[in-house]
């Protein structure tokens, strides 16, 4: 049964805000009393009675006035108590958390308890403190065949690194390994089987993060720390194996190359994959591991760059359609490597880890005439690979355009900005129409039909995320809703909120941006709702008849390398929700007519209520999806951020 929680207070005291702990709003509060510190509160920075002042100001405005500055003022006033609630609800570990920047804080039981205790969803009993006698466990496999089978269940639906399996899949039956004492370090000797290649080691680093069905309390601090330690053991071993295997790489993968014996050239994971591909694919997996689990974007980039360089060294970019030996394996290795390279650049821009001045030209571009390797095939009517590459390029171009806009100053030439923005948006609209074609197709033709369908869904998601990113500032002025700064979303802790007046450069942006606030708001609404629908339909892992439900908390829903798409969409939904509430509180419902379907004065309140419920439901879907991927500690805090925002917006609810 879900646990009841106290609704958040209207204002947190200054010490609780500083330490990012929950405040009960008393004078003094319980937290300050327990710590014997001075408890003080600050008045609202906007001053005056919240609704009364806003309402009187609204009455003085001309009817129908909905300028950008007045919209900012109304929404900022409505959001300020929400921000107080967020600060008291959300942990300092939310967002993209780099485990490598603070290893000491997570290397002990107390440190792990702090992290996972703060990350606790309020309605998930699996996060309760485990009994003292409860002992965590990790999953292990006894052969390359078992690792490959687990890969096809949990990883392949979102990362189709290998060709389709050549043997029937069977139910996942991992070996359960119990810990060897709380103070024991992870050791290779503790495992019943040690993987034999860099790729199987890298895959094991992902698989070991998935709790076993026998683990009653999978997200307690000791159990999470146990999985984390073995994942890092596998990842470090995989990187060492990559170095050794790279030294032995041959210049080509053809069986006609002298010195390559077919009996020694095949991977233990798949009989159609040459071993020369193992280090390339391992680096792709390690890049995703560094982002999703470790939250280390610097190492993510390093692994991705090494993967593309290694792939170039073995010339898998220059195959042609007549190549037959290992063809599909080579195609997937090359295009999965390029795909990860493009996603890395988009993530770096979205997380603010690099700026345009540090985006170097890639080793090889999509238009390079040297690239002759065809796309892989799923043997379905609509092959998704070309659309996936276009979607990732669109996301990168959108992020790059936004970064250009954010650099506008007095010296910037704005004469061509409007045309560039409109052209990019037009390209995104064309991609939306092209990607939507798959909705008219049934994917039941081949063994990988479901994988192809998932790739189409992810592609659509990235395109809509790109369009939302392009229009987000124009629609919402980047008013912060989340505690930390990640996915290029402004943070609550910024010093310039709430805005007393629009910054000087806003007028320049308004002149150069070829869409009105209302037009951009509608675009963000539609795209965010599409992303919500896609997230609801993304498939869960299917353990093939496992006694544990496929939707159990035991399994992640996705490999969350695209989690920022959900955060961007959730931000849009929450901002629109607060805009509707601001219109209600000021009595100026006409200000949000553009968001409603054929509103009239007689129906406007009911129309606002319907849209508000749709927005709330969308936030719930996105929050639940990201919470299901909480086992990945690098991005696991995103689900907690969404839940904190949800609880702040809906005090007294049970969470998502």
Is residue 216 predicted with pLDDT exceeding 60?
yes
Tell whether the model's pLDDT for residue 93 goes beyond 50. Answer: no
Contact predicate 160/377, CB 8 Å: no
d(CA 366, CA 393): 10
Backbone dihedral angles phi then psi of residue 414, each to the nearest 5 degrees: -95, 5
The per-residue pLDDT for 159 is: 96
490/486 Cα distance (integer angstroms): 8
- What is the pTM (predicted TM-score) of this model? 0.81
**The pLDDT value given to residue 52:** 37
Rounded Cα distance, 223 and 215, in Å: 8
What pLDDT score does 442 carry? 75
Q: What secondary structure does DSSP assign to 95-124, as a single string?
A: SS--TTTSHHHHHSHHHHHHHHHHT--TT-
Cis preceding-peptide flag for 498 (omega within 30 of 0): yes
In order of 10, 94, 345, the CA distances from 15 in angstroms are: 15, 19, 38
Q: What is the pLDDT of residue 356?
A: 53
Q: Which residue has the higher pLDDT, 238 or 268?
A: 238
Among 336-345, 346-355, 577-586, where is mean pLDDT lowest? Answer: 346-355
Convert the pLDDT of each residue in 16-49 to its tens digit. 765 556 677 787 888 788 777 788 775 443 333 3
Q: Are 465 and 395 in contact (CB under 8 A)?
A: yes
With a cut of 80, say whether residue 259 has pLDDT above it.
no
pLDDT tens-digit map of 507-539:
555 567 899 999 999 999 999 999 999 999 998
pLDDT digits (tens, 9 = 90+) for 155-180: 999 999 999 999 888 899 999 998 66
Q: Which of 407-411, 542-546, 605-609 has the lowest mean pLDDT?
A: 542-546
CA 530 to chain centre: 16
pLDDT score recorded for residue 19: 58
| Confidence (pLDDT) at 77 | 63
Band of pLDDT at residue 66, cut at 50, 70 and 90:
very low
Please give, one letter per residue, the 3-state secondary structure of 322-341: CCCCCHHHHHHHHHHHHHHH
Report the share of the chain in percent with pLDDT over 90: 42
- With vertex at residue 32, the alpha carbon angle to CA 28 and CA 33, rounded to the nearest 5 degrees, is 70
* Average predicted confidence (pLDDT) for the chain: 78
pLDDT digits (tens, 9 = 90+) for 358-410: 555 555 666 777 889 999 999 888 999 999 999 999 999 998 888 887 776 66
pLDDT of 248 higher than 50: yes
Arithmetic mean of pLDDT, 475-492: 80
- Which among 411, 558, 405 is positioned nearest to 472, based on CA atoms? 405
Q: What pLDDT does residue 250 have?
A: 52
Tokens standing for 643? 């839940």
- Higher-confidence position of 12 and 232: 232
Task: Please give the full DSSP string across 588-640, using - where no structure is assigned.
Answer: -GGGGGGGSSS--TTTHHHHHHHHHHHHHHHHHHHHHHHHTTTTSTTTTHHHH
How high is the pLDDT of residue 596? 95
Helix residue spans in 93-197 (DSSP H): 103-107, 109-118, 144-154
| 433-475 pLDDT tens trace | 999 988 887 777 678 999 999 999 999 999 999 999 999 989 9
- Per-residue confidence band for 348, with pLDDT thresholds at 50, 70 and 90: confident
pLDDT digits (tens, 9 = 90+) for 127-139: 444 454 456 789 9
């Amino acid at each position: 049964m879900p646990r009841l929680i106290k609704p958040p207070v209207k204002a947190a005291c200054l010490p609780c805000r500083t330490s990012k702990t929950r405040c009960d709003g008393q004078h003094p509060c319980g937290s300050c009393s327990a710590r014997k510190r001075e408890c003080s509160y600050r008045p609202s920075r906007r001053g005056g009675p919240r609704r009364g002042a806003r309402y009187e100001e609204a009455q003085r405005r001309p009817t129908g006035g909905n300028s950008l500055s007045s919209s900012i003022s109304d929404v900022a006033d409505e959001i300020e108590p929400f921000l107080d609630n967020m600060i008291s609800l959300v942990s300092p570990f939310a967002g993209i958390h780099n485990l490598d920047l603070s290893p000491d804080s997570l290397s002990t039981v107390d440190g792990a308890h702090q992290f996972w205790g703060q990350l606790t969803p309020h309605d998930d009993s699996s996060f309760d403190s485990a009994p003292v006698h409860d002992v965590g466990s990790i999953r292990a496999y006894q052969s390359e065949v078992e690792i490959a089978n687990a890969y096809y269940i949990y990883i392949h639906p979102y990362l189709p690194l290998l060709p389709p399996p050549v043997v029937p899949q069977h139910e996942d039956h991992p070996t359960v390994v119990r810990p060897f004492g709380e103070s024991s370090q992870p050791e290779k000797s503790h495992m019943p089987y040690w993987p034999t290649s860099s790729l199987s080691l890298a895959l094991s680093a992902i698989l070991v993060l998935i709790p076993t069905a026998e683990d009653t309390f999978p997200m307690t601090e000791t159990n999470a720390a146990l999985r984390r330690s073995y994942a890092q053991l596998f990842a470090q071993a995989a990187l060492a194996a990559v170095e050794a295997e790279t030294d032995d790489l041959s210049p080509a993968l053809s069986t006609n190359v002298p010195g390559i014996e077919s009996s020694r050239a095949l991977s233990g994971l798949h009989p159609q994959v040459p071993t020369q591909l193992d280090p390339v694919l391992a680096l792709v997996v390690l890049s995703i591991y560094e982002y999703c689990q470790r939250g280390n974007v610097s190492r993510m980039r390093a692994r991705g760059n090494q993967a593309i360089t290694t792939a170039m060294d073995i010339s898998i970019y220059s195959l042609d359609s007549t190549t037959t030996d290992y063809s599909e394996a080579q195609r997937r290795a090359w295009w999965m490597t390029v795909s990860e390279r493009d996603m890395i650049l988009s993530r770096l821009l979205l997380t603010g880890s690099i700026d345009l001045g540090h985006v170097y030209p890639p080793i090889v571009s999509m238009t390079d005439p040297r690239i002759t390797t065809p796309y892989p095939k799923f043997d379905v009517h609509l092959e998704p690979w070309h659309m996936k590459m276009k979607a990732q390029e669109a996301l990168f171009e959108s992020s790059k355009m936004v970064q250009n806009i954010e650099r506008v100053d007095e010296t910037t030439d704005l004469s061509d900005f409007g045309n560039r923005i409109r052209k990019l948006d037009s390209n995104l609209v064309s991609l939306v129409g092209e990607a939507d074609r798959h909705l008219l197709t049934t994917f039941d033709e081949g063994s990988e039909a479901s994988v192809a369908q998932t790739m189409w869904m992810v592609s659509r998601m990235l395109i809509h995320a790109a369009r939302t990113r392009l229009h987000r500032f124009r629609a919402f002025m980047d008013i912060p809703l989340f505690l930390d700064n990640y996915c290029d979303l402004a943070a609550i802790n910024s010093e310039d909120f709430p805005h007393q007046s629009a910054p000087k450069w806003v007028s320049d942006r308004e002149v150069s941006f070829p869409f009105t606030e209302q037009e951009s708001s509608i675009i963000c609404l539609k795209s965010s709702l599409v992303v919500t629908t896609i997230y609801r339909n993304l498939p869960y892992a299917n353990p093939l008849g496992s006694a544990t439900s496929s939707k159990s908390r035991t399994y992640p829903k996705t490999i969350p390398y695209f989690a920022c798409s959900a955060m961007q969409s959730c931000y849009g939904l929450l901002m629109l929700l607060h805009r509707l509430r601001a219109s209600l509180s000021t009595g100026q419902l006409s200000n949000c007519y553009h968001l409603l379907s054929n509103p009239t004065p007689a129906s406007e309140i009911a129309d606002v209520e319907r849209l508000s419920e749709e927005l709330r439901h969308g936030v719930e879907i996105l929050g639940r999806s990201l919470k299901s991927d909480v086992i990945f500690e690098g991005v696991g805090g995103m689900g907690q951020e969404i839940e904190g925002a949800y609880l702040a917006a809906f005090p007294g609810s049970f969470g998502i």
